[in-house]
Amino acid sequence: MPEPLDPDMFTGCPPVASPIRIGDKWTAKIVRSLESGPRRFTELQTVLRGITPKVLTESLRAMERDGLLTRTAYDEIPPRVVYELTDLGRSLLEPMNAGCEWARKHLSELIDARKSWHAAT
């Protein structure tokens, strides 16, 4: 099990920062959160600030259905459920990194364009 996730790893990443999206609103962030190893439900809930259990469950179920991750439930008290990327899910990191590289290179241009457009109105 890898080191704890930084609870602030997504602060300062508003939607405008990722013009390239993977699937729905949360899929990409979940993939990132699982990049360094399997994680528990609560860990994901913590790092994905503000996500409700319902939405997190929905997102995880959809990704499980698409073969992007696996769900492993241990029959213990208290219960423990662990999510882990499949090879398919991990392969998403490649196009995601391409998107991140684009953002690093060009996001400031996009922000500037938006600013100067705002100024012209």
* Residue among 22, 31, 51, 96 that touches DNA (CB under 7 A): 51
Q: Which is nearer to DNA, 55 or 100 (CB)?
A: 55
Q: Which stretch binds DNA (CB under 7 A): 2-10, 56-64, 88-96, 108-116?
A: 56-64
17 binds its own copies (CB under 8 A): no
Sequence-separated contacts (24+) of 57-63 with Cβ below 8 Å: 59/24, 59/26, 59/27, 59/30, 60/30, 62/23, 62/24, 62/27, 63/23, 63/27, 63/30, 63/89
17 binds DNA (CB under 7 A): no
- Tell me the sheet residues that pair with 82: 40, 72
54 binds DNA (CB under 7 A): yes
